[in-house]
Amino acid sequence: MKSMAVLNSVLERAAHLRDEGELEAASAIIELLMKSYPNDKAALLVAGHFYWEYGSIDRAVGTFEKATALFQESKLASLGLFHVLWKAGLHQRALGSA
């Protein structure tokens, strides 16, 4: 089983790189994160937000959809899905996801 400390360290590194404007490096970490932790709630939420923030709306939608399917009680996953669908102009679908 993978350590939560390792996951948290990876998430912090990706966020730091993103904040420093190192988007390619942050993106590479996010991709590795999704391969290593494909069903982890924190990883999915961070990846979904990263994709949304940097304009990869289709990837953000898919990531948040997966998060809401796996973690139906997660308000953050549901809210993330709503926002990316709304931003994509899929208002009816966004309202249906709420």
CATH of the domain at 77: 1.25.40.10
Tell whether the model's pLDDT for residue 47 goes beyond 60. Answer: yes
Domain range for 9 is 4-97
**What predicted TM-score, i.e. pTM, was given to this entire model?**
0.81
53: pLDDT confidence band, cut at 50, 70 and 90?
Answer: confident
Four-residue CA torsion sign, 68, 5, 59, 32? negative
Domain count along the chain? 1
**Which residues touch 57 (CB under 8 Å, ≥6 apart)?**
51, 84, 87, 88
pLDDT at 4 over 80: no
Q: Is the pLDDT of residue 81 over 80?
A: yes
Q: Output the CA angle 72-74-80, nearest 5 degrees.
A: 105
Q: Which of 25, 47, 24 is nearest to 36 (CA)?
A: 47
What pLDDT band is residue 72 in, cutting at 50, 70 and 90?
very high
